[in-house]
Amino acid sequence: MKKKNTFRVSEFLLLGFSEEQDLQPMIFMLFFSMYLSTVFGNLFIILATISDSHLHTPMYFFLSNLSFVDICFTSTIIPKMLQNIQTQSKVITFEGCMIQMYISILSLGLDDFLLTVMAYDRFVAVCHPLHYRVIMSPQHCGLLVLVSWIISVAYSFLQTLMVLHLSFYTNLQIPHYFCELNQLVQLACSDTFLNDTVMYFVAPLLGGGPLVGILYSYSKIVSSILRISSGQGKYKAFATCASHLSVVSLFYCTMLGVYLSSAATHSSQSSAIASVMYTVVTPMLNPFIYSLRNKDIKRALKRFVEMALIKGENVLGQDKSTRWQGS
């Protein structure tokens, strides 16, 4: 039996998108601008939700949680990639790689469950409007988010724990821009049957279950909207779901695109490029989708900016007054 060349892993090499040095500045600027848009866009959603009492509703509570998760997700992956491009290094420590993998699994699970909870919220709002306040009470909303966190944390911890028990070859090059679970399992030289079983059976179950819940909720929503007699009433009911439906479509279409591209090409580089859609593009577009067609968010953001400008002018005015008195 041939002896496998393994050793204790201390670091991995993230190969990124391209080896060509001429493309590195363009890749850096592209992802840096997308990262800033993601962070500031989602941060504005959170601040607007907190500062405006009109947005203290279940839907915006779930949305602010989604924005927080998206900020954490991208902040775990993109800054390290930008650092490696800037320093012309591909190294990531073993601990840093495990953290990236854990948070990426956790974030994707939370996105999935939070979108499902938001679909349930729209279902109650459209199909049971008279009982909405009772059903979607603050305690119930908090419980839904807590359960989402518990399931996602447990699953990501399980996957990370199983990867920690794997042995690796001396070739520790990851053909990706972050430590993606599937890429790490493929590098292992020990038996990965249990990892593959959990990855290909439990993960689709956790992802497919929420998708079924979303589809069921929207089937009931569409059925209720069709029973509305007036055209204006139908439009108003659909408008309350349009933003969420757009985000759900974007999330699942990008995930399906990543899966199909990986299965069709069997190319790690193609998989890395496709992964940009759900790691960067989707978190970046979510706040814009909710802002562009949402009058409440627009009004809250306008108030937030006006308050910030007023506070800034007051601080400058006090500073000038203090200097004038001192002189």
Q: Distance between CA 260 and CA 186 in Å, rounded?
A: 18
Q: 234 vs 1, which has greater pLDDT? A: 234
Task: Provide mean pLDDT across the span 246-273.
Answer: 71
Gyration radius (Cα) of the chain, Å: 23
How far from each other are the two terminal CA atoms of the chain, in whole angstroms? Answer: 87
Task: Provide mean pLDDT across the span 169-196.
Answer: 85
Report how far Cα 278 is from the mean position of its chain's Cα atoms: 7
**Buried (b) or exposed (e) across 211-228, using 16+ Cβ within 10 A?**
bebbeebbebbeebbeee
Which DSSP state fits 200? I
Q: 83 vs 278, which has greater pLDDT? A: 83
Is the four-CA dihedral 93, 161, 108, 180 of positive or negative sign?
A: positive
Using an 8 Å Cβ cutoff, are 111 and 81 in contact? no
Q: Distance between CA 177 and CA 37 in Å, rounded?
A: 19
Ranked by mean pLDDT, the top range of 89-93, 101-105, 177-181 is: 101-105
Mean pLDDT of the chain: 83
Q: How confident is the model at residue 4 (pLDDT cuts 50, 70, 90)?
A: very low
Burial of 67 from C-beta contacts in 10 A (0-12 / 13-18 / 19+) = buried
Q: 177 vs 145, which has greater pLDDT? A: 145
Per-domain residue ranges of the chain: 11-293
- Please check the confidence at residue 183 and state whether its pLDDT lies above 80: yes
Q: In this structure, what token pair is assigned to residue 27? A: 């890749």
Using an 8 Å Cβ cutoff, are 126 and 224 in contact? yes
Q: How confident is the model at residue 275 (pLDDT cuts 50, 70, 90)?
A: confident
Q: In this structure, what token pair is assigned to residue 98? A: 């495990």
CATH 1.20.1070.10 fits 11-293, yes or no: yes
Phi, psi for 174 (deg, rounded to 5):
-100, 115
Q: DSSP H helical segments within the chain, as ranges?
A: 24-51, 58-87, 94-127, 132-135, 138-164, 181-187, 193-197, 203-226, 231-265, 268-276, 282-292, 295-326
Q: 31 vs 273, which has greater pLDDT? A: 31
What pLDDT sits at residue 1? Answer: 41
What pLDDT sits at residue 216? Answer: 93
Using an 8 Å Cβ cutoff, are 266 and 289 in contact? no
Using an 8 Å Cβ cutoff, are 51 and 303 in contact? yes
Residue 117 Cα distances to 66, 100, 148, 210, angstroms: 11, 25, 9, 9
Q: How confident is the model at residue 320 (pLDDT cuts 50, 70, 90)?
A: low
**For the chain, percent of residues with pLDDT exceeding 90:** 35
- Please check the confidence at residue 173 and state whether its pLDDT lies above 60: yes
Using an 8 Å Cβ cutoff, are 35 and 82 in contact? yes
Is the four-CA dihedral 81, 84, 85, 87 of positive or negative sign?
A: positive
- Please check the confidence at residue 317 and state whether its pLDDT lies above 70: no
pTM of the complete model:
0.85
- Please check the confidence at residue 9 and state whether its pLDDT lies above 90: no
What pLDDT sits at residue 6? Answer: 47
What pLDDT sits at residue 324? Answer: 56
Task: Provide mean pLDDT across the span 113-127.
Answer: 93
Cα angle for residues 130, 136, 139 (degrees, 5° grid): 140
